[in-house]
Every structure is written in structure tokens, then in C-alpha cells.
Amino acid sequence: MTPLAKLLEAALFASARPIATDELAALEPDASPAELQAALDELREHYDVDGHGVELVEIAGGWQVLTRAEYTEAIERAQLAARPARLSGAALETLAIIAYRQPIGRAEIEEIRGVAVGSVLKSLHERGLIDVVGRGEGLGRPLLYGTTPVFLEYFALRHLDELPRADELAIALRAARPEPEPVAATPDE
């Protein structure tokens, strides 16, 4: 491996969170973005081709070394690590709505889901998957929610655009997702 790839490997090993590309770049200021990408590719290939128990994954706008799924059972059985609890259906529905319509207020989410979502929002917020991103224009200036980097990590998404676009879904309903209006999205402060 090249020295840069080794350096990246060490940094990725040291971190428990995905490391953003620009953070990786700060490790070796002399390296060009192309060299950095080449080193990342080299490291990924090293793990994939030579046969390693871990792999390099691009996640939440950064990079992370993860164990391969085939070893999860054994690791969990030996109680060396435990998988996080699954999200409930209600939590997933609420997250899906927020991911597509952010920033969005509670009333709108309830309108789409047809049920009250107060406690679900609270627990999603506690888990760091969503955050308050502003206040709406309407009555009482409702809190508006959006997804966080933790959300991307949880679902192993590189960025939000990786989710299928509304018009790619089997039942397309373009009117349901109008172009975002910046006026309504930003609080007038």
C-alpha cells in the first residue's frame, strides 16, 4: 500500500465515526484530491481483493471502516458488540416523511400519517436522527424538523439524494412533493 493509504487506514481505524473527505484531506495537506481518492480506492480494494473481515464504506458524506455483515452473528453471539435496536414502524414512517419533506412541522407529518406523532418525534430527536431546523410561518410558528448526519449514518446513506426520488417511486404523485419554497423554509429572522 502507498504511505497515504496507510495513513488513511490508521485514521479510519482511530475514529468511531465516519470521517469526512475534507477531514481526511487534512491528514496530508500536500495530497491532491485525486491522490486522496486514489488512496481511498486503494484501501477499499485492499480490503475487498485481499479478503479482509472489514470493508471501507462511504457513508454520511465521509468514510468508515465497518465489519463485514457475514461476521455479525458470531460477533454478537460472543457478546463483543451488539446491534442497535431496530426502529419501530411508526418511527420509520415519520423519518421517511421528514427525509422527503424537510423542513416539516408536526401537523403536516400527522396529516400524512393519519396519527399523532408527538412521542415518536421526541424519541427520534433523542436518538439524534432528527433535529429542529427552524420555525414555520403558520399559527404558533411551529417547530420544523429535518434529518441529521446521524440519520445518514443509521441508514448507511452517502447523502439524502441517495434515497429514491419521489418520481422514481412506484406510485408517483408529483403534486405531493412540490418544489421546495425557500421563502417558507427559512425563518424570517
Partner 1 sequence: MSVATPPYSAAIGATESGFVVELTTFSGPLDLLLSLIREEQVDIYDIPIARICEQFVVRIRTLGLNEAAEYLEMAARLIRIKAQMLLPRGDEEGWEDPRAELVRRLLEYQQMREVVDVLERRGEERRNQFSRAYLPQSPAPPQAPLALSLAELLSAVDRVMRTVARPNMHEVIPRALDVPGAIAILRGALAIKARIRWTELVERTAEPWQILSTLLGLLELAKLGELRVAQVKPFADVEITRDAASEAA
> Angle formed by the axes of helices 118-126 and 89-101, to 10°?
80
Q: Min. distance of Cβ 115 from partner 1 in angstroms?
A: 4
Instruction: Pick between residue 49 and residue 171 the one whose CB is nearest to partner 1.
Output: 171
8 burial level (CB within 10 Å; 0-12, 13-18, 19+): buried
Are 27 and 162 spatial neighbours (Cβ–Cβ below 8 Å)? no
Q: Min. distance of Cβ 129 from partner 1 in angstroms?
A: 10
Number of Cβ within 10 Å of residue 63's Cβ equals 23
Instruction: Pick between residue 128 and residue 180 the one whose CB is nearest to partner 1.
Output: 128
Instruction: Pick between residue 79 and residue 188 the one whose CB is nearest to partner 1.
Output: 79
Stretch of 25-33, 41-49, 135-143, 164-172 lying at the interface with partner 1 (CB under 8 A): 164-172
On the question of a cis peptide bond just before residue 182, with omega within 30 degrees of 0, the verdict is no
Q: Which residue in the set 7, 11, 38, 75 belongs to the binding site for partner 1 (CB under 8 A)?
A: 75
Instruction: Pick between residue 128 and residue 187 the one whose CB is nearest to partner 1.
Output: 128
Q: Which residue in the set 8, 40, 56, 87 belongs to the binding site for partner 1 (CB under 8 A)?
A: 87
Interface of this chain with partner 1, residues 20 to 49, rule: CB under 8 A: none
Gap between the Cα atoms of 161 and 165, Å rounded: 7
Q: Min. distance of Cβ 50 from partner 1 in angstroms?
A: 19
List the one residue out of 101, 127, 124, 122 whose CA is nearest residue 112: 101
